[in-house]
Structure 1
Amino acid sequence: MIFKASNRNDAALFPREVQIDQGATVRLLPHANVSRRQSKPVEKSYWLAVASAEHVRIGREHGFMQVNHGKRAPLKRIKPGDGIVYYSPSVKMGDRDAFQSFTAIGYVREGEPYLAEMGCGKAYRKDVDWLDAPEQPLRPLLGWLDFTQDKNWGYKLIFGLVEFGQSDFEFLEEILMSELEEVKRRRLQA
């Protein structure tokens, strides 16, 4: 930082009692206790979680998420403010009904994963602010989502939680909050 000296006695700028000639260039050095490293803003991540629609609906109703049958490790990767989308291949766990829909979208709240009681045991959860959005079938979106461009896109979903692209998240958020055909028309015009 460079300042031009003036005839003002500015103790905040020049803490030492040194005579400085008017008009001289003065270079101010940072204080020794000041870190030179700029802290990076925390970047948001976006996640695609997989669970039956029945389980997702319970989570939406009570404001939480859980993945991989309640395991803690996957939830540790998710930070407050991250976006989360749930994809449900079936309505009930284990069924092969080809439901294949996005069933929830929201943002993760502050807090660490916590242990909660379920009917069949205990599971780790994280709190989420779910958006009031309807369920959306996947099929009409196949050509519009980046993550479905690979012909084996479904293989990644067996892990239960995968990182998701910001553009796909924003597209789904827009679709779930308005009409699909209207969103497609706007996107084609852009």
Structure 2
Amino acid sequence: MTHLDTRRYWVITISLDHVLLGVEGGFTQADHGRDTRLRALGRGDLVAFYSPRPALGSQVTLQQLTALGEVADDEPYRVHVSDDVRPWRRRITFEEVGRVPIRPLIPLLGFVTDEQRWGLPFRSGVLEVTAGDFGVVAGALRDAVTHATTA
């Protein structure tokens, strides 16, 4: 069995400013810096990022898919940001993708069972999805960068 046979697919909900820091640094963190759900991710798993807002605490609505990558380590690791901030992270190898609004994709996503309350699944923070649902998300993100570079 290869790692592709056991690969899992995830959507992490995180504000755009945190996504951009992660892309720059090659990492993600979730659950307000706890490691609990980050432990579920395995090396080679694919991760898409959904950003409901541009920044943590912002009242501005963004509702975009914002990044795509592959888990590049085996376990969460902890960093010392300050005396009272020591978040857990996972290393991610990010692809170059564009950003896309989530709403047009909602009817295509099997994990959204109620289109009126489509945002509920994303509230878990770290959501495992099927390969098919991940394909919809990843395809849209990859397509967005293709259109941005040819426009």
CA distance in 2: counterparts of 1:172 and 1:71, whole angstroms: 26
Matched residue count: 143
- Superposed structure 1 runs of 4+ greater than 4 Å apart: 39-42
**Do the aligned residues in 1 keep the contact of 2:100 with 2:144 (CA within 8 Å)?**
no
Deviation at residue 155 of structure 1 after TM alignment: 1.7
CA distance in 1: counterparts of 2:23 and 2:131, whole angstroms: 22
**Do the aligned residues in 1 keep the contact of 2:78 with 2:88 (CA within 8 Å)?**
yes
The higher radius of gyration belongs to: 1
SS in 2 for 1:107: strand
The letter for the 2-side match of 1:150 is: D
Deviation at residue 165 of structure 1 after TM alignment: 1.7
Deviation at residue 43 of structure 1 after TM alignment: 1.3
- TM-score w.r.t. the length of structure 1 is 0.68
User: Is 1:150 the equivalent of 2:127?
Assistant: no
**Do the aligned residues in 1 keep the contact of 2:98 with 2:144 (CA within 8 Å)?**
no
Aligned Cα root-mean-square deviation (Å): 2.1
Match of 1:159 in 2: 124
Uncovered stretches (5+) of structure 1, i.e. residues with no partner: 1-38, 183-190
Match of 1:93 in 2: 56
**Do the aligned residues in 2 keep the contact of 1:101 with 1:135 (CA within 8 Å)?**
yes
User: Is 1:137 the equivalent of 2:94?
Assistant: no
SS in 1 for 2:60: coil
Specify which of 152, 169, 173 is matched with residue 134 of structure 2: 169
CA distance in 2: counterparts of 1:106 and 1:113, whole angstroms: 16
The letter for the 2-side match of 1:142 is: I
- TM-score w.r.t. the length of structure 2 is 0.85
User: Is 1:125 the equivalent of 2:56?
Assistant: no
CA distance in 2: counterparts of 1:128 and 1:134, whole angstroms: 17
Relative contact order higher in (CA < 8 Å, ≥ 6 apart): 2
**Do the aligned residues in 2 keep the contact of 1:48 with 1:85 (CA within 8 Å)?**
yes
The letter for the 1-side match of 2:114 is: D
Q: Deviations over 1:156-176 (max 9, x none)?
A: 222211111211211222221
SS in 2 for 1:85: strand
Query: Judging changes above 3 Å, is the alpha-carbon distance between structure 1 residues 99 and 162 closer, same or farther for their aligned structure 2 residues?
Result: same
Match of 1:72 in 2: 35
Deviation at residue 129 of structure 1 after TM alignment: 0.8
**Do the aligned residues in 2 keep the contact of 1:147 with 1:153 (CA within 8 Å)?**
no
SS in 2 for 1:117: coil
The letter for the 2-side match of 1:132 is: E
**Sequence identity (%):** 29
**Do the aligned residues in 2 keep the contact of 1:65 with 1:127 (CA within 8 Å)?**
yes
**Do the aligned residues in 1 keep the contact of 2:53 with 2:61 (CA within 8 Å)?**
yes
Query: Judging changes above 3 Å, is the alpha-carbon distance between structure 1 residues 96 and 82 closer, same or farther for their aligned structure 2 residues?
Result: same
More helix by share: 2
